[in-house]
Amino acid sequence: MSIHIEAKENEIAETVLLPGDPLRAKYIAETFLEDAKLYNKVRNMFGYTGTYKGKRVSVQGTGMGVPSISIYINELMQSYNVQNLIRVGTCGAIQKDVKVRDVILAMTASTDSTINRTIFNGTIDYAPTADFELLKNAYDLGTEKGLAIKAGNVFTADLFYSENPQFEKFAKFNILAIEMETAALYTLAAKFGRKALSVLTVSDHIITGEETTAEERQTTFNDMIEIALEAAIK
Ligand SMILES: O=P(O)(O)O[C@H]1O[C@H](CO)[C@@H](O)[C@H]1O
Ligand SMILES: O=c1cc[nH]c(=O)[nH]1
Protein backbone atom coordinates (compact mmCIF):
# COMPACT_ATOMS: atom_id res chain seq x y z
CA MET A 1 0.00 0.00 0.00
CA SER A 2 1.16 3.54 -0.73
CA ILE A 3 -0.23 6.83 0.53
CA HIS A 4 -2.76 7.32 -2.29
CA ILE A 5 -3.16 3.76 -3.61
CA GLU A 6 -4.54 0.98 -1.40
CA ALA A 7 -3.63 -1.99 -3.66
CA LYS A 8 -1.68 -4.86 -2.12
CA GLU A 9 1.70 -5.86 -3.54
CA ASN A 10 1.28 -7.63 -6.92
CA GLU A 11 -2.26 -6.33 -7.45
CA ILE A 12 -1.08 -3.85 -10.12
CA ALA A 13 0.24 -5.00 -13.52
CA GLU A 14 3.60 -3.99 -15.05
CA THR A 15 1.68 -2.03 -17.69
CA VAL A 16 -0.74 0.69 -16.61
CA LEU A 17 -3.00 2.92 -18.70
CA LEU A 18 -3.40 6.39 -17.18
CA PRO A 19 -6.52 8.46 -17.93
CA GLY A 20 -6.94 11.77 -16.09
CA ASP A 21 -10.59 10.99 -15.35
CA PRO A 22 -11.18 8.14 -12.87
CA LEU A 23 -14.53 7.42 -14.56
CA ARG A 24 -12.60 6.86 -17.81
CA ALA A 25 -10.55 4.28 -15.88
CA LYS A 26 -13.84 2.55 -14.92
CA TYR A 27 -15.06 2.71 -18.53
CA ILE A 28 -11.79 1.22 -19.85
CA ALA A 29 -11.82 -1.58 -17.26
CA GLU A 30 -15.46 -2.46 -17.95
CA THR A 31 -15.21 -2.18 -21.74
CA PHE A 32 -11.76 -3.52 -22.62
CA LEU A 33 -10.45 -5.69 -19.78
CA GLU A 34 -11.49 -9.19 -18.78
CA ASP A 35 -11.91 -10.10 -15.11
CA ALA A 36 -11.20 -6.49 -14.09
CA LYS A 37 -10.93 -6.00 -10.32
CA LEU A 38 -11.02 -2.65 -8.54
CA TYR A 39 -7.82 -2.22 -6.48
CA ASN A 40 -8.11 1.46 -5.56
CA LYS A 41 -10.88 3.76 -4.46
CA VAL A 42 -8.90 6.12 -2.24
CA ARG A 43 -10.20 9.62 -3.14
CA ASN A 44 -12.37 7.89 -5.79
CA MET A 45 -9.24 7.75 -7.98
CA PHE A 46 -10.22 4.34 -9.34
CA GLY A 47 -7.64 1.74 -10.36
CA TYR A 48 -8.40 -1.68 -11.87
CA THR A 49 -6.39 -4.71 -12.97
CA GLY A 50 -7.60 -7.22 -15.55
CA THR A 51 -6.37 -8.86 -18.74
CA TYR A 52 -6.32 -7.71 -22.35
CA LYS A 53 -5.86 -10.52 -24.90
CA GLY A 54 -4.49 -12.67 -22.10
CA LYS A 55 -1.95 -10.11 -20.82
CA ARG A 56 -2.24 -8.46 -17.41
CA VAL A 57 -2.97 -4.72 -17.65
CA SER A 58 -4.04 -2.10 -15.10
CA VAL A 59 -5.76 1.23 -15.55
CA GLN A 60 -5.36 4.02 -12.98
CA GLY A 61 -6.99 7.47 -12.89
CA THR A 62 -4.43 10.24 -12.33
CA GLY A 63 -6.50 13.38 -11.78
CA MET A 64 -5.70 16.60 -13.63
CA GLY A 65 -2.37 18.39 -13.84
CA VAL A 66 1.29 17.78 -13.02
CA PRO A 67 0.95 17.66 -9.20
CA SER A 68 -1.79 15.02 -9.32
CA ILE A 69 -0.30 12.70 -11.97
CA SER A 70 3.11 13.00 -10.25
CA ILE A 71 1.66 11.51 -7.05
CA TYR A 72 0.14 8.50 -8.82
CA ILE A 73 3.05 7.66 -11.12
CA ASN A 74 5.64 8.06 -8.33
CA GLU A 75 3.68 5.57 -6.22
CA LEU A 76 3.03 3.20 -9.16
CA MET A 77 6.76 3.06 -10.00
CA GLN A 78 8.22 3.08 -6.50
CA SER A 79 5.70 1.01 -4.52
CA TYR A 80 4.30 -1.25 -7.26
CA ASN A 81 7.24 -1.55 -9.69
CA VAL A 82 5.19 -0.49 -12.74
CA GLN A 83 7.34 -0.57 -15.91
CA ASN A 84 5.15 0.73 -18.77
CA LEU A 85 3.04 3.86 -18.25
CA ILE A 86 0.69 4.94 -21.01
CA ARG A 87 -1.43 8.06 -20.62
CA VAL A 88 -4.77 8.01 -22.46
CA GLY A 89 -5.94 11.60 -22.28
CA THR A 90 -7.70 14.45 -24.02
CA CYS A 91 -6.15 17.60 -25.46
CA GLY A 92 -7.12 20.87 -27.15
CA ALA A 93 -5.81 21.47 -30.68
CA ILE A 94 -4.15 24.72 -31.76
CA GLN A 95 -3.03 23.90 -35.33
CA LYS A 96 -5.26 24.32 -38.41
CA ASP A 97 -4.51 20.81 -39.67
CA VAL A 98 -5.16 19.15 -36.30
CA LYS A 99 -8.88 18.35 -36.06
CA VAL A 100 -11.17 17.24 -33.26
CA ARG A 101 -11.19 13.42 -32.96
CA ASP A 102 -7.58 13.19 -34.25
CA VAL A 103 -5.27 11.02 -32.15
CA ILE A 104 -1.94 12.57 -31.15
CA LEU A 105 1.15 10.74 -29.91
CA ALA A 106 3.29 13.05 -27.80
CA MET A 107 6.94 12.68 -28.87
CA THR A 108 7.88 15.31 -26.31
CA ALA A 109 6.17 17.90 -24.10
CA SER A 110 7.04 21.56 -23.68
CA THR A 111 5.73 22.98 -20.42
CA ASP A 112 5.29 25.98 -18.14
CA SER A 113 5.31 23.63 -15.14
CA THR A 114 8.36 24.13 -12.94
CA ILE A 115 8.86 20.37 -12.45
CA ASN A 116 11.97 20.07 -14.64
CA ARG A 117 13.58 23.31 -13.52
CA THR A 118 13.07 22.17 -9.94
CA ILE A 119 14.63 18.74 -10.63
CA PHE A 120 17.65 20.29 -12.40
CA ASN A 121 18.00 23.27 -10.04
CA GLY A 122 17.13 25.69 -12.85
CA THR A 123 20.34 24.87 -14.74
CA ILE A 124 18.86 23.33 -17.91
CA ASP A 125 15.59 23.04 -19.86
CA TYR A 126 15.14 19.25 -19.90
CA ALA A 127 13.32 17.74 -22.94
CA PRO A 128 10.88 15.06 -21.70
CA THR A 129 10.66 12.32 -24.34
CA ALA A 130 8.38 9.37 -25.14
CA ASP A 131 9.71 5.82 -25.20
CA PHE A 132 10.54 5.20 -28.86
CA GLU A 133 9.37 1.57 -28.98
CA LEU A 134 5.94 2.38 -27.49
CA LEU A 135 5.68 5.41 -29.79
CA LYS A 136 6.55 3.38 -32.90
CA ASN A 137 4.16 0.56 -31.97
CA ALA A 138 1.35 3.04 -31.39
CA TYR A 139 2.04 4.94 -34.62
CA ASP A 140 2.14 1.75 -36.71
CA LEU A 141 -1.05 0.41 -35.12
CA GLY A 142 -2.92 3.71 -35.58
CA THR A 143 -1.83 3.96 -39.20
CA GLU A 144 -2.86 0.34 -39.86
CA LYS A 145 -6.29 1.16 -38.40
CA GLY A 146 -6.57 4.03 -40.91
CA LEU A 147 -6.78 6.68 -38.19
CA ALA A 148 -5.81 10.33 -38.48
CA ILE A 149 -2.83 9.94 -36.17
CA LYS A 150 -0.14 12.56 -35.63
CA ALA A 151 3.09 12.51 -33.63
CA GLY A 152 4.83 15.62 -32.30
CA ASN A 153 5.33 18.18 -29.58
CA VAL A 154 2.49 18.89 -27.12
CA PHE A 155 2.29 21.54 -24.40
CA THR A 156 1.74 20.50 -20.79
CA ALA A 157 0.01 23.51 -19.22
CA ASP A 158 -0.05 24.20 -15.50
CA LEU A 159 -3.28 26.16 -15.82
CA PHE A 160 -6.37 25.13 -17.80
CA TYR A 161 -7.54 28.75 -17.64
CA SER A 162 -4.33 30.51 -18.69
CA GLU A 163 -3.71 34.16 -17.73
CA ASN A 164 -1.34 34.58 -20.65
CA PRO A 165 -2.25 32.24 -23.51
CA GLN A 166 0.39 32.08 -26.25
CA PHE A 167 -1.40 29.62 -28.51
CA GLU A 168 -0.50 31.31 -31.82
CA LYS A 169 3.17 31.35 -30.91
CA PHE A 170 3.03 27.71 -29.79
CA ALA A 171 1.39 26.76 -33.10
CA LYS A 172 4.13 28.61 -35.02
CA PHE A 173 6.72 26.58 -33.12
CA ASN A 174 4.95 23.36 -34.14
CA ILE A 175 3.23 22.46 -30.88
CA LEU A 176 0.22 20.35 -31.86
CA ALA A 177 -2.05 20.53 -28.81
CA ILE A 178 -2.43 21.51 -25.15
CA GLU A 179 -2.90 19.12 -22.21
CA MET A 180 -1.78 19.02 -18.59
CA GLU A 181 0.29 15.93 -17.62
CA THR A 182 2.70 14.56 -20.23
CA ALA A 183 5.85 16.50 -19.26
CA ALA A 184 5.68 15.05 -15.74
CA LEU A 185 4.97 11.54 -17.00
CA TYR A 186 7.98 11.49 -19.33
CA THR A 187 10.41 13.10 -16.89
CA LEU A 188 9.50 10.85 -13.95
CA ALA A 189 9.47 7.70 -16.11
CA ALA A 190 13.01 8.60 -17.26
CA LYS A 191 14.07 9.22 -13.65
CA PHE A 192 13.06 5.67 -12.69
CA GLY A 193 14.17 3.99 -15.95
CA ARG A 194 10.62 3.14 -17.09
CA LYS A 195 8.83 3.41 -20.45
CA ALA A 196 6.16 6.04 -21.05
CA LEU A 197 3.89 7.30 -23.81
CA SER A 198 0.99 9.76 -24.02
CA VAL A 199 -1.78 8.95 -26.48
CA LEU A 200 -4.19 11.87 -26.70
CA THR A 201 -7.55 12.41 -28.36
CA VAL A 202 -8.34 15.93 -29.54
CA SER A 203 -11.55 16.79 -27.64
CA ASP A 204 -11.80 20.43 -28.73
CA HIS A 205 -10.14 23.01 -30.97
CA ILE A 206 -8.95 25.95 -28.88
CA ILE A 207 -8.74 28.36 -31.84
CA THR A 208 -11.88 27.43 -33.85
CA GLY A 209 -14.02 26.47 -30.84
CA GLU A 210 -15.03 23.16 -32.46
CA GLU A 211 -15.96 20.45 -29.96
CA THR A 212 -16.83 16.75 -30.08
CA THR A 213 -20.18 15.39 -29.00
CA ALA A 214 -20.23 12.95 -26.10
CA GLU A 215 -20.85 10.05 -28.53
CA GLU A 216 -18.01 11.09 -30.87
CA ARG A 217 -15.69 11.43 -27.89
CA GLN A 218 -16.48 7.89 -26.82
CA THR A 219 -15.80 6.41 -30.28
CA THR A 220 -12.50 8.23 -30.61
CA PHE A 221 -11.59 7.32 -27.03
CA ASN A 222 -12.12 3.69 -28.01
CA ASP A 223 -9.62 4.08 -30.89
CA MET A 224 -7.10 5.74 -28.55
CA ILE A 225 -7.53 3.05 -25.88
CA GLU A 226 -7.14 0.22 -28.40
CA ILE A 227 -3.97 1.81 -29.75
CA ALA A 228 -2.60 2.15 -26.22
CA LEU A 229 -3.48 -1.43 -25.24
CA GLU A 230 -2.14 -2.96 -28.46
CA ALA A 231 1.07 -0.91 -28.28
CA ALA A 232 1.55 -2.05 -24.68
CA ILE A 233 1.22 -5.78 -25.37
CA LYS A 234 3.05 -5.88 -28.75
O1 LIG B 1 -8.80 14.02 -20.26
P2 LIG B 1 -7.62 14.10 -19.32
O3 LIG B 1 -6.83 12.83 -19.34
O4 LIG B 1 -8.01 14.49 -17.91
O5 LIG B 1 -6.67 15.25 -19.92
C6 LIG B 1 -7.00 16.61 -20.13
O7 LIG B 1 -8.24 16.99 -19.57
C8 LIG B 1 -8.03 17.74 -18.35
C9 LIG B 1 -8.55 19.15 -18.51
O10 LIG B 1 -9.89 19.16 -18.82
C11 LIG B 1 -6.53 17.71 -18.09
O12 LIG B 1 -6.23 16.64 -17.25
C13 LIG B 1 -5.98 17.53 -19.49
O14 LIG B 1 -4.67 17.03 -19.58
O1 LIG C 1 -5.88 20.49 -21.14
C2 LIG C 1 -6.73 20.54 -22.02
C3 LIG C 1 -7.46 19.40 -22.43
C4 LIG C 1 -8.41 19.52 -23.41
N5 LIG C 1 -8.62 20.73 -23.97
C6 LIG C 1 -7.93 21.83 -23.58
O7 LIG C 1 -8.15 22.91 -24.09
N8 LIG C 1 -6.99 21.70 -22.62
Contact 16, 60 (CB under 8 A): yes
How much is the pLDDT for 55? 98
Interval 102-151: pLDDT, tens: 999 999 999 999 999 999 999 999 999 999 999 999 999 999 999 889 99
The string of pLDDT tens digits covering residues 62-84 is 999 999 999 999 999 999 999 99
Task: Label residue 234 by pLDDT band (50, 70, 90).
Answer: confident
Mean pLDDT score, 208-224: 82
Q: Does domain 15-233 have CATH number 3.40.50.1580?
A: yes
Active site (annotated) includes residue 204: yes
Whether the pLDDT of residue 220 is over 80: the answer is no
Evaluate: CB of 89 within 6 angstroms of ligand 1: yes
Ligand 2 centroid to residue 10 C-alpha, Å: 34
Domain positions in the chain are 15-233
Residue of 102, 125, 204, 223 marked active site: 204
Instruction: Name the closest ligand to CA 206.
Output: 2
Q: How far is the CA of 79 from the centre of ligand 2 (A)?
A: 30
- 37's CB contacts (< 8 A; 6+ apart) are 11, 48, 49, 50
Whole-model pTM: value is 0.97
Q: What is the pLDDT of residue 174?
A: 97
Q: Is the pLDDT of residue 214 over 90?
A: no
Q: Could you tell which of 110, 179, 186 is best to mutate to test the pocket of ligand 1, judged by most ligand atoms within 8 Å of the CB?
A: 179
What number is the average pLDDT over the span 179-200? 98
Does the pLDDT value for residue 38 go beyond 90?
A: yes
Report the sign of the C-alpha dihedral through residues 172, 170, 196, 139, in that order: negative
- Which secondary-structure segment (H or E) carries 88? strand 84-93
> What pLDDT is attached to residue 121?
97
Amino acid at 46: F
Mean pLDDT of 12-16: 98
Counting from 1 in the atom list of ligand 1, the atom nearest the Cα of 203 is 1
**Mean pLDDT taken over the chain:** 95
- pLDDT band per the 50, 70, 90 thresholds, residue 216: confident
Torsion angles phi and psi, residue 230, rounded to 5: -65, -40
- 33 pLDDT above the threshold of 90: yes
Question: Which comes out higher in pLDDT, residue 108 or 212?
Answer: 108
Please report, rounded to a whole number, the percentage of residues in the chain having pLDDT higher than 70. Answer: 99
Average pLDDT of the residues in 40-58:
98
Cα–Cα dist 73/16, whole Å: 10
pLDDT at 215 over 80: no
Task: Please choose from 18, 28, 90 the residue to mutate so as to test ligand 1's pocket, defined by most ligand atoms within 8 A of CB.
Answer: 90
